[in-house]
């Protein structure tokens, strides 16, 4: 089993460039299905979730392959409408293909994603949106089949601004020529990236980045070229690791405007944060204090994906930090592992209280999910002595060369496969 061996205690320093956003590229790969033409996606991270999306496209009869710094997709040859169970299981966000395949073929069959590492991941909001657009959904031998002879425009009001449900609704709505209005929509930067792709493809999309998105489909372009936005959670990972080690790092190729709540929390901790055009410089050399209470929430609030990462940076910060997780039910799986390193953390329901300690010690720990794995690596970098971090298969889902990036910043880290 793959693991990272880390000798902690070295403050990170230098500069690092951030990869393209995982959470942008996956829905855009699904949306490519809609166009029936060619899509070239640049700045695409080499991660296993993208590999899995390529396999889904291949299974549907599309041409889909890595090319240069990105992927090439031609959905003109698509024949299928079933997403196989093993691929649904490998990639939780494969549910994002639902709206695209339904809008393109009038039918989609898939198995519902089960409970996952960070809590149950229901798809009721996704299905509700498809129904509003005129689709039916039935269960059949453990699978869900959605059908629609013709999708129509609708007003879709989401109970919660779910990122995935907003994306599914946007993609399906772009498949019909009447107006669709999505209310209480998610406003994450990845939603705007998808909107930008759909606009380039020929749809009319307005209001992305706000709670109300209006979409009308059109004639699709036969060829779309799109560059993925920088990954804000990977940026947060480098920043958190720098803070945890008391380092001084310049992150390049990023979007500081996508990281408001994260940068604000790091500033409250006593980090000096300087932002420029595509750059963030973080200096944590003056010691850290607790940022107080950190409450996760939909964008632009503090991202749930950055919660384990900021927690890693708070383990040695003076005072008590309280994390309140409001998005997912089971997002403290990294806590027992951090405690093995000597962290002082208590969890009650969806709140975790971290009391800063003077030192952490290297330990053998194992991650149970993607961001938790990156957080354990950040914690290990700030611990004295050697740590072994297991569960690296989760890291591979979302990070393209994190070990290489950290080594370039002076970290003593190596991967064993
Ligand atoms: C996306 C991101 C993930 C991030 C999350 C929240 C991708 C590939 N993943 O996940 O990294 O942590 O947004 O920012 O983009 N919910 C329902 N019913 C539904 C759908 C969701 O109750 O039909 C609930 C979920 O259980 C969860 C909350 O809504 O409690 C947020 O989920 P959602 O925004 O949908 O997250 P994802 O799109 O799965």
In tens, the pLDDT along 317-368 reads 999 999 999 999 889 999 999 999 999 999 999 999 999 999 999 999 999 9
Does the domain at 22-227 match CATH 3.65.10.10? Answer given as yes
State whether the beta carbon of 382 lies less than 6 angstroms from ligand 1: no
Q: How confident is the model at residue 250 (pLDDT cuts 50, 70, 90)?
A: very high
Phi, psi of 229 (to 5 degrees): -70, 160
Least Cα distance to 24 among 279, 331, 211, 232 occurs for 232
| Res. 116: pLDDT tops 60 | no
pLDDT at 1 over 90: no
pLDDT of residue 218 exceeding 90 = no
pLDDT the model gives residue 330 = 83
- Give the Å distances, CA to CA, from 249 to 1, 231, 233, 282, 337: 31, 17, 16, 5, 26
Active site residue 146: no
Which tens digit of pLDDT belongs to each residue from 179-207?
Answer: 999 999 999 999 999 999 999 999 999 99
Alpha helices in 36-138 (DSSP H): 48-59, 85-90, 97-105, 124-132
Average pLDDT taken over every residue of the chain = 95
Ligand 1 atom 12: the closest Cα is on which residue? 305
**374 pLDDT more than 80:** yes
Equal fold, 3-19+230-416 vs 22-227: yes
Average pLDDT of the residues in 228-233: 98
- The pLDDT tens digits of the residues spanning 295-322 come to 999 999 999 999 999 999 999 999 999 9
Rounded-to-10 torsion of CA 214, 218, 223, 224? -10
Q: Which CATH superfamily is domain 3-19+230-416 in?
A: Enolpyruvate transferase domain (3.65.10.10)
In this prediction, residue 107 has a pLDDT band, given cuts at 50, 70 and 90, of very high
Provide the residue ranges of all domains of the chain, joining segments of one domain with +.
3-19+230-416, 22-227
Of all protein residues, whose CA lies closest to atom 22 belonging to ligand 1? 122
The response to whether residue 93 sits with its C-beta less than 6 Å from ligand 1 reads yes
> Could you tell me if the CB of 250 is within 6 A of ligand 1?
no
pLDDT confidence bin for 119, thresholds 50/70/90: low
- Catalytic: which of 116, 146, 176, 177? 116
């Amino acid at each position: 089993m793959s693991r990272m061996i880390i000798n902690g205690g070295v403050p990170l320093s230098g500069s690092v460039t951030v990869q393209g956003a995982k959470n942008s590229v996956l829905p855009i790969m699904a949306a490519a299905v809609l166009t029936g033409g060619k899509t070239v996606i640049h700045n695409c991270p080499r991660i296993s979730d993208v590999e899995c999306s390529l396999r889904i496209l291949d299974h549907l009869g599309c041409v889909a392959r890595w090319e240069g710094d990105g992927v090439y997709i031609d959905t003109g040859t698509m024949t299928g409408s079933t997403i196989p169970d093993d691929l649904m299981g490998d990639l939780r966000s494969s549910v994002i293909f639902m709206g695209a395949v339904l809008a393109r073929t009038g039918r989609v069959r898939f198995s519902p994603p089960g409970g996952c590492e960070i809590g149950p991941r229901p798809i009721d909001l996704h299905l509700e949106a498809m129904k509003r657009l005129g689709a039916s959904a039935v269960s059949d031998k453990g699978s869900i089949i959605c059908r629609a002879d013709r999708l129509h425009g609708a007003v879709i009001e989401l109970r919660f601004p779910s990122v995935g449900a907003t994306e599914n609704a946007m993609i399906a709505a772009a498949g019909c020529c009447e107006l669709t209005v999505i209310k209480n929509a998610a406003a994450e930067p990845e939603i705007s990236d998808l909107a930008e792709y759909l606009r380039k493809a020929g749809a009319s999309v307005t209001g992305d980045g706000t709670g109300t998105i209006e979409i009308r489909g059109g004639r699709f372009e036969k060829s779309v070229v799109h560059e993925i936005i920088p990954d804000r959670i990977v940026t947060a990972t480098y920043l958190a690791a720098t803070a945890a080690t008391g380092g001084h790092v310049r992150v390049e190729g990023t979007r500081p405007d996508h990281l408001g709540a994260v940068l604000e929390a790091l500033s409250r901790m006593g980090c000096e944060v300087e932002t420029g055009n595509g750059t963030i410089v973080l200096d944590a050399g003056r010691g850290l204090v607790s940022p107080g209470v950190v409450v996760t929430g939909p964008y632009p609030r503090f991202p749930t994906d950055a919660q384990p990462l900021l927690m890693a940076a708070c383990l040695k910060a003076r005072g008590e930090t309280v994390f309140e997780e409001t998005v997912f039910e089971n997002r403290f799986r990294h806590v027992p592992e951090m405690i093995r390193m000597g962290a002082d953390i208590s969890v009650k329901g969806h709140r975790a209280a971290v009391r800063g300690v003077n030192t952490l010690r290297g330990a053998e720990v194992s991650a149970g999910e993607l961001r938790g794995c990156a957080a354990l690596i950040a914690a290990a970098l700030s611990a004295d002595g050697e740590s072994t971090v297991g569960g690296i298969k989760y890291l591979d889902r979302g990070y393209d060369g994190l070990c290489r990036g950290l080594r370039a910043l002076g970290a003593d880290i190596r991967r064993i496969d």
